[in-house]
Amino acid sequence: MLYLASQSPRRRELLALLGLPFGLLDVDVPEQRLPGEPPETYVSRVAREKAGAGLLAVVGAPGAVVLGADTEVILGDTVFGKPADADEAARMLSLLSGRAHRVVSTLWLVDAGREAHATCASEVHFAELTPAQIQAYIATGECFGKAGAYAIQGRAAAYVSHLSGSHSGVMGLPLHETARLLRGFGLFD
């Protein structure tokens, strides 16, 4: 049985698009970047830790396969996680305004005897945002719980002037890479 080690509604919706049955696991993994840790290494480590924690939760279930994922917004060497409050969201959005940034999603698929991973990197260009636009967006509440303080599948799509990469990857679960990993485990045609 496939399990998703995530409580993200977006990841659930995206994985459901593949038409596979899956269970959900609520894992508690600290998302803390280590000193000097490169952004891509951090994203991969957190995704792997989520998958591992999920596997520990279902270790007694025969045939359990766990998918862990992490997605982060990266500008230069700075990783923009989920904003703690409106001020942090405003700071993030101001820094992203009028610039291109990377969104990196890494997946780890693990079972009792094997593991595989994939990474999807996309480039997102934001239009120039006025302070009023930033405040209006924050007032919607959509920025909270989202890496980089925005949801590309929501109102923030109006601010994305160009996307090079995977739309589902920016949302949190790159479907092409997910399907490829699942195929490798014999779970998807």
The set of catalytic residues is 70
Range 117-152 burial, b when 16+ CB lie within 10 A, else e: bbebbbebebeebeeeebeebbeeebbbebbbbbbb
| DSSP conformation letters of 37-103 | --HHHHHHHHHHHHHHHHHHHTTTSTT-EEEEEEEEEEETTEEE---SSHHHHHHHHHHHTTSEEEE
Helix (H) or strand (E) holding 164: strand 160-164
